[in-house]
Structure 1
Amino acid sequence: MSAVHRLTLGDVLAEHRRGRPQGTAVVDGDVRLTYPELDERVDRLVGALAGDGVAPGDRVLWLGRNSFRVLELLLACARLGAIFCPANWRQSADEIAYVLDDLTPRVVVWEESEAVEKARGQVVPDARWIRAGEEYETYLTSGNTAFSGIMDDDAPVLALYTAAFDGRPNAALLSHSALVAHSMALLHMRQMEDGFTFLACGPLFHVGTMMFTLATFQIGGKLVFTPAYEPDEVCRLIDAEKCTQAFLFGPMIDGLVQANRDGRYDLGSLRFVSHSPEWDAMITVDDSPWCASGMGGYGQTEVGGMLTFLGLGMGGEGFAGRPSPLVHVQILDPDGREVPPGEVGEICARGHSLFSGYWNRPELNAEKSAFGWHHTGDLGRREDDGTITFVGPKLRMIKSAHENIYPAEVERALKTHPAVADAAVIGVPDDRFGQSPKAIVVLAEGAEATSEQIIEHVRGEIASYKKPREVVFVAEIPKRGYTPDYDALDAAHGGGAYPGA
């Protein structure tokens, strides 16, 4: 790519240094940095990392709570062509050891914790370990290696480990161009303007916090960091820094309402989604498409955050809205053909904000990019009005009399029955139909329901051919990661004859 068309995260910082010489970039405790000051620190960090041998494609790992140093490290990696990963520091020692072994970082910046210490003893990566705080600040001044180069904005710069739905997490790689594209779509939907201030009180290893952090950075706003969500401190920071937005959802909002019962903090600068009469009276209820729609849509780490926005389809049939203006979405069947409106298939996408694949997963990457589309692994439906409905994880498919039945869709219908606490669906061999769906159901405590009642309920929710032909009641559903362990369920309840098996 010609340098004329390049725009990396490092370039964005350089432009803010020139265009916002007095603009506050970050606030973190006693630390307040203007954009020129942040740019200077990033340049020094680039020298230190380059002196440690960090080169294009190398990984730098952060193991700690929220900090302005997360942004510094990301921007330094951006200028080096390296890949930065803020990992979940709250994981167990074994889980952190897995990340260390999988990512093989060149440099690890860490905050002391028992789990990190134990994990460090389990693996011996060839990495430089730097404690956050004074050691990090000393390291920042140690760089004596100048580095200059033209980075490819299609190169990955950020790695975020995704939820281990199948028991094994994968690091999704996001490029400069993908992050810039997603930021532009988000700041449009949120109607972010000059002076926008974001409070990063959610975890920065989560795409939900990171996407707003980067959109605020993209527009040259002010980023306020706090180590973790604490209601009193969040209220104080909103008041003191006049925050426009924060990473918040229902229970967190309820905590802020409780902490500010006496009205000692002015939260009026916060332009946020309506939640409750008490909350709405404390803040300014925002009317941007993002907030007016309840911050809805469909997304995942692999698409940079949001793939669709409910704000582009408010009042539509599908509760996930319509795709971001910078992506293209189709609902595909297992053979890569687009299914008609009203039919369920896999949500697949192309576009500027999509990830570059997973770190060190060539087979999975090939599977995920079949037919020239990113396969999200999630099921959806394009409604007659063009909006999209998210159904649930794909995981596997049942083939019954030439009809495709996705367990996730049937499970969703099962769980709308008031007596059902949990449910999973498997396919069992059927001499007539090839397979038929069987439901394994956990009833809510004190609830009663018969198989016939459960089946009839599902018949009313989805197409009749998708209903289970048998229901088995159990005490619990075995899980693998966050999802049902279908192999265990097959073994216990006679599953099999899946297509392709």
Structure 2
Amino acid sequence: MSVHRLTLGDVLDEHRRGRPRGTAVVDGDVRLTHPELGDRVDRLAVALMAAGVGPGERVLWLGQNSFRVLELLLAAGRLGAVFCPANWRQSADELAHVLTDLTPKVVVWEESEAVEKARGQVPLNARWVRSGEEYESFLTGDGRALPGVVSAEVDDAAPVLALYTAAFDGRPNAALLSHAALVAHSMALLHVRQMEDGFTFLACGPLFHVGTMMFTLATFQLGGTLVFTPAYEPVEVCRLIDAEKCTQAFLFGPMIDGLVQANAGGAYDLSSLRFVSHSPEWDAMITVDDSPWCASKMGGYGQTEVGGMLTFLGLGMGGAGYAGRPSPLVHVRLLDADGTEVAPGEVGEICARGHSLFSGYWNRPELNEAKSRGGWHHTGDLGRREPDGTLTFIGPKLRMIKSANENIYPAEVERALKSHPAVADAAVIGVPDERFGQSPKAVVVLAEGASATAEDVIEHVRGEIASYKKPREVEFTDAIPKRGYTPDYDALDERFGGGAYPGA
């Protein structure tokens, strides 16, 4: 065993010794200290091992937020395995893709029509464990003895977390993040957010999203308290902030507005929340935080593949570039198509390497080779180095729509559109949306002799992919302008009102 190793399990074991009375997780009636969490993780690791999970095998979670997500991640990490919390809002077809692609040994799931349907579509040699009583029985097992430490010789460079993202070709890919990468990103975030002892994070955003997961893991790294709630619900979020004295939560504009409305009468004390200034009403309810992270309004540039944030505006406040400067644990270059660094003021692809970067995509050797060419991770996004050294994010090389806090890839929506029997061709653009920043609009060519309404098309897409990805508008046209084999998105934007893309 290397003396330089630091896995997530090592972090947990240190908290068991150093914080024996500290509360690790809160979830409804469940309250666990660090030693209690550690004992459950050890039992779960034994149960997973008995179910055939070993180094490199995958464990899948299909459900809403739960403390069990953290338990499964840590238990899989004990065994050198990989844990994936999948997007529970996906359609049955999308979930079937995840099952087929990931081929997990164990699936822990919450009951839903989409999961039931996906399970029926994919013959999988896996142990299915329903969350709740069945999970607790699975964890308890047959009374087998608990080992003092359940672990193989796990290298901290081994992948431990898989998050689906980057649907470049219409299907998402699972980005693999190692123990070492997660620890490194947590340390950078701890520094910029100025997280201190007693930090309490409310995981009210989706744990399949790197934005929620990165704060969950940074809080875990610090030995703080994690409060879980199944999903964002304004009144319940207000109650939990008050009851648990939460320091931070996963929130952005519309979610904050919902909390202001829910707490208009002042029923809940939200002053423990040290957060970003947003509006006079919000600022009066909370404690406006002056850390670099909050003072910069959580600015910067990131993606799942870099563990969350690659750059922080908090490290370059007052600079010309509104993405700030890189995390202290990464190295960033702006490269042209030949792999040559471009001069300050010129646009190039944002490329990076360093401790917090991912280990590649699961089962995508060709994509991995392309994305890591020349020894750099090629993000697929464009940026510019300003004269003062700060960075500006320009936008994706492959166009992406940002609706609220969700990334929507046109190729994925277009694939769903083209599966409609009346659709001959389709393209998707992003149009400005006052509430969500952008919303997807479909431009559709109907097959000869076929007919369909906008409502027909939208409902079809809703059945194929997650509802938030469906177009909110449909325009019918005679032909999709092309550049080679791909849609001419600039021409479509000009004709149909596209705009407000990330970085624009």
Contact 1:318 1:389 survives alignment (8 Å): yes
Cα deviation for residue 443 of structure 1 reads 9.3
1:104·1:125 contact (CA, 8 Å) conserved in 2? Answer: yes
Deviations 1:433-464 (A, max 9, x none): xxxxxxx999999xxxxxxxxxxxxxxxxxxx
Task: Give the Cα–Cα distance (whole angstroms) in 2 for the partners of residues 368 and 15 of structure 1.
Answer: 36
Q: Does 1:131 align with 2:130?
A: yes
TM-superposed deviation, 1:159: 0.1
> Aligned residue pairs: how many?
424
Of 92-101 and 139-148, more deviation after overlay is shown by: 139-148
Superposed CA deviations along residues 296-348 of structure 1, whole A, max 9, x for unmatched, are: 10000000000000001111111111100000000000110000011111000
* Matched-pair contact (CA < 8 Å) for 1:166–1:483: no
Pick closer, same or farther for the CA change 1:123–1:22 going to 2, 3 Å.
same
* Aligned counterpart, 2:34: 35
Aligned residue for 1:19?
18
> Contact (CA 8 Å) 1:165, 1:483: kept in 2 or not?
no
Task: Quote how far apart the aligned CAs of 1:165 are.
Answer: 4.5
Instruction: Determine the C-alpha separation between the residues in 2 that align with 1:5 and 1:100.
Output: 35
Quick one: structure 1 residues 9 and 497, their matched pair in 2 at CA, closer, same or farther if it must change by over 3 Å? closer
Deviation at 1:125, TM superposition (A): 1.1
CA distance in 2, matches of 1:442, 1:99: 26
What amino acid does structure 1 have at the position aligned with 2:184? A
Whichever of the two has the greater Rg, that structure is 1
Normalised by the length of structure 2, the TM-score is 0.80
Coordinate RMSD, CA, aligned: 2.6
1: distance between equivalents of 2:217 and 2:429?
A: 42
Structure 2 residue 249 is the aligned partner of structure 1 residue 246: yes
Tell me which residue corresponds to 1:83.
82
Per-residue deviation, residues 13-40 of structure 1 (Å, max 9, x unmatched)? 0000000000000000000000000000
Q: Partners in 2 of 1:255 and 1:492 — Cα distance?
A: 39
- What is the DSSP-based 3-state SS (H/G/I as helix, E as strand, rest coil) of the residue aligned with 2:89? coil
Cα deviation for residue 149 of structure 1 reads 2.1
The one-character-per-residue Cα deviations of 1:386-443 (angstroms, maximum 9, x if unpaired) are 1111111113xxxxxxxxxxx89xx99xxxxxxxxx9xxxxxxxxxxxxxxxxx9999
> Which of 149, 152, 157 matches 2:155?
152
Matches within 5 A, 1:439-458: none
> 1:264 aligned to 263, 267, 276, which one?
267
**Matching residue within 315, 325, 334 for 1:322:** 325
Structure 1 residues 443, 256: closer, same or farther in 2, change over 3 A?
closer
Partner Cα separation in structure 2 for residue 267 and residue 84 of structure 1: 34
Tell me the amino acid that sits aligned with residue 84 of structure 1.
F
Q: 1:495 aligns with which of 468, 483, 488?
A: 483
> Unaligned stretches of 5+ in structure 2?
403-409, 411-427, 434-440, 446-460, 472-476, 487-504
For structure 1, the residue ranges without an aligned partner over 5 or more in a row are 396-406, 413-421, 423-439, 446-474
Residue type at the aligned position of 1:341: P
Amino acid at match of 2:194: Q
Q: AA paired with 2:252? A: F
1:301 aligns with 2:289: no
Residues 260 and 494 of structure 1, relative CA distance in 2, 3 Å threshold: closer
Give the direction of change, closer, same or farther, for the CA distance of 1:383–1:97 in structure 2 (3 Å limit): same
Q: 1:244, 1:12 → 2: CA distance?
A: 21
**Alignment of 1:204 onto 2:227:** no
Amino acid at match of 2:103: T
Is 1:350 matched with 2:353?
Answer: yes
Report sequence identity in percent.
79
TM alignment of 1:53-202, pairs within 5 A: 53-142=52-141, 144=144, 146=147, 147-202=150-205
Give the partner amino acid of 1:230.
E
CA distance in 2, matches of 1:75, 1:276: 38
Instruction: Quote the Cα distance in structure 2 between the aligned partners of 1:229 and 1:442.
Output: 25
Counterpart code for 1:322: R
* TM-score, length of structure 1 as denominator length: 0.81
Task: After TM superposition, give the deviation of residue 289 of structure 1 in Å.
Answer: 0.2
Give distance in 1, aligned partners of 2:24 and 2:171. 36
What's the CA shift for 1:53? 1.2
Structure 1 Cα separation of the partners of residues 20 and 265 of structure 2: 39
SS in 2 for 1:11: helix
The corresponding residue for 1:416 is none
Distance 1:441 1:113, change over 3 A: closer
Structure-2 residue corresponding to 1:233: 236
Partner of 2:386: 383
Match of 1:290 in 2: 293
